[in-house]
Chain A
Amino acid sequence: MLSKTMAPPKMMDSRYAPKVDVHCADLPGMVSQSVVELFPSIKPGYLQKEGIAQIRKFTEKTLADIDMTKIKPGDSVNILSAEHGYYLLGGEHYCEMIKTIKDVVRERTGCTNIRLRVAGGMHTKEADEIIKHFNLRAAFDGKVAGTHAFDKGVPIETEIGTLYGLAKVYDADWIIHASHDEQRDLYFYRMIDRVLKAFVMSFARYEVRSLFHCNFGSRSANFIQRSIFNSPFVQKKFAFGCFLRMTPAGITGVDADNDLDRLGRKISVDLMRDYGKVLRLFSEIDECVVVIDGSRWAHYLHAGGVVFGCFENSIYDAYDLSNHAAFGYYDLLSKIASGDEESMDQIMLAHPAIKAAVVNQSMPGIPWSDIAITRPTFVANASQAESLRKDPANASFMDMAEETGTLAEAVERACEAAGTDKVIAFDDSFGYITCSPSMAELLQKLAPEVSRKVDTEYLPKWLRQRGIDPKQI
């Protein structure tokens, strides 16, 4: 059953995101395909802004079981947050969890020096925008600081050498890892130490982020965040982790643990079971036009809770640890150039079903020109085109892409070029997939068999590869 088209989540405005008035969901003929209707086993959750009060209750409940005795009244505590959480379904739920953590820690420990740290993604002013938009300075009595990948570093001695974290992240006696379990860029971390990834990506200097992406394979790279987290420097400060829980169908709760590895195992199982179905479903799409529909970087925009980067790379099973393929930075050209036929099928090439692309809104700063190079690509408005022209990470994007006057025109042109009317929009939606009726029909047709295969074939394999007995799930 198709729903009336759902509006995508309302995101905060950003100096980095071009202004856009019309989204794909506004176009005549688009529909919203419910994720839960495709996969009834996926737990539905909160969407948009509902359920905020419930998040406080969830957080208070899970924190009741957390040992906070190490935190003394005169200590300093940093609650560590990162930009991605503030964009999940508008960010209010993540904010509420963080504010509740502060209130509970203060009440339980008597500690008053509880500070918030907000780590940005690619740009230096992201954190300031977030702090202002969510009025976090007031919520934390002014004890808030933003940080970014180029900010001053602090050396962390690990068993693999000195690695640099961000000084503002670690400038307290204790740190609380306040995060979420949205799957994000699975193709980079392969569901290995998902709960630790922020230690190499959000809380580390840019050089360390680079080591993760370029100096390791996609499996071995995860040893970097493991080494940082296990270091005496971090272990001495680590108090507990608290995660907003999500399925592709929305926000379902909050989980906390003093033992981050225990929490990580639980989260990994849930992610593979739920996101695995949507991802395998996407891998079976035969042809489509993708619409990059805002409001952040293309690779991190959701459709049915799965980011475009995962969709783009979904022909290859990133959960399967027997598959060594890494994202293209490291591996792609070397394999092509070496003519290594045997491993060509493990190169992470973009999903061949993507026949054309439309860009309605995307932040600059992360390279993704490969789409414009390899597919007919239409940019739907002048402000987005101008942003791409000035984007140093995609300097040649507009040499290949064509600017159109409106989103409707761009979608029409893309469908003509692609020879299909199957359209899927990555507009940051959870719970629903904004798409054309023909795409919804295809998803409905494919979903039952995908669900069966994930339950009986894929998931048991993924679990066994991680040392988890499927019978215990």
Chain B
Amino acid sequence: MKVVNYLSQVDKDKCIGCRLCETICPTGAISMFEKKAVVDENLCRACSKCEDVCPNDAVILVERSEPLMVSADVDTVDEAAIDEICAKADLFPEQMICACTMTPVKEAAAAILNGARTPEDISVMTGVRTGCGIYCMGAIQRLLNANGIELKPPANNRWYKQCLSMWDIPDDLAKSNPGYFIEEDQKIYRSKTKGGGQRDVK
């Protein structure tokens, strides 16, 4: 769960319509109207990326009148279905998918069960990737991709499709590069995956 205390606010007089904030926003909360950035308060998770990237300091974070609680409730979905989604991606339901919000993978899986189909959807529904905005993206994409959800990167460069994991390294490369312990890591991490994963250990 993430408690969102702040909200992005655009000073229209300062906004130059460069769209950098729209591109970087992990939840797709920013759109353009009459060449000015507009923030959807319902989607903003206060990651501050828009404030940071703005070349004219036109975006600031202001305190919300009431904190917004963001979470995908794992108790309202089938636990077995969560386990299956996580296992397909070789992720353990209890492990953190986002260190900033300390959100477990099972919450992102619940978001998928509740209809999330893009990284933006998962960020809106769980708050993940609205902290540092960097380190959880690979696991988010991996979770979506492993569950057959086609990843279609936005036309801007908000994100590129990148969901490679250690289990995707071809056998011959793993064997011919022993100094990287790829085969060992595959076995170690697989053994910790509840359900054992859906793919064979190489």
Q: Which residues of A line the B interface, CB within 8 A?
A: 122-125, 149-153, 155, 159-161, 163-164, 192, 205-211, 213-217, 219-224, 226, 321, 324, 328-338, 340, 343, 365-367, 369, 389-390, 392-396, 466-467
Contact = CB atoms under 8 A, between A and B. Distances in A.
A151 B53 CA distance: 10
Nearest to A206: B134
Interface stretch (B32-40, B72-80, B93-101): B93-101
Contacts of B177: 223, 226
Contacts of B100: 367, 392-395
A30 B179 CA distance: 44
B77 to A, nearest CB: 18
Contacts of A215: 138-139, 142, 163-166
Nearest to A151: B157
B162 interface: yes
Contact of B192 (A155, A159, A210, A334): A334
B53 A150 contact: yes
Interface of B: 2-3, 5-6, 23-24, 45-49, 52-53, 61, 92-97, 99-102, 104, 130-139, 141-142, 157, 159-160, 162-166, 168-170, 173, 177, 179-182, 184-186, 188-189, 192-194
B138 A207 contact: yes
B99 A163 contact: no
Contact of B181 (A207, A214, A217, A331): A217
B162 A211 contact: yes
B188 A324 contact: yes
B189 A333 contact: no
Nearest to A149: B134
B164 A338 contact: no
A211 B138 contact: yes
Contacts of A122: 132, 134
Given A150-B53, A334-B92, A210 B134 contact: yes
Contacts of B164: 160-161, 163, 211, 215, 224
B185 A333 contact: no
A393 B103 CA distance: 12
Contact of A333 (B2, B92, B130): B92
17 contacts: A153-B157, A192-B179, A210-B138, A211-B163, A214-B97, A217-B185, A223-B177, A324-B181, A331-B192, A334-B92, A334-B193, A337-B92, A366-B132, A369-B102, A390-B48, A392-B132, A393-B100
Nearest to A466: B179
Nearest to B169: A160
Contact of B132 (A152, A207, A393): A393
Contacts of B182: 220, 223
A53 B163 CA distance: 46
A160 B168 contact: yes
Contact of A328 (B93, B99, B104): B99
B95 A337 contact: yes
A214 B179 contact: no
Given A161-B168, A207-B138, A395-B5, A220 B160 contact: no
A220 B99 contact: no
Contacts of B157: 150-153
Which residue, of A164, A209, A330, has the highest number of chain B Cβ atoms within 10 A? A330
B95 A333 contact: yes
Contacts of B131: 367, 392-395
B160 A219 contact: no
A151 B177 CA distance: 31
A115 to B, nearest CB: 21
A224 B163 CA distance: 12
B166 A337 contact: no
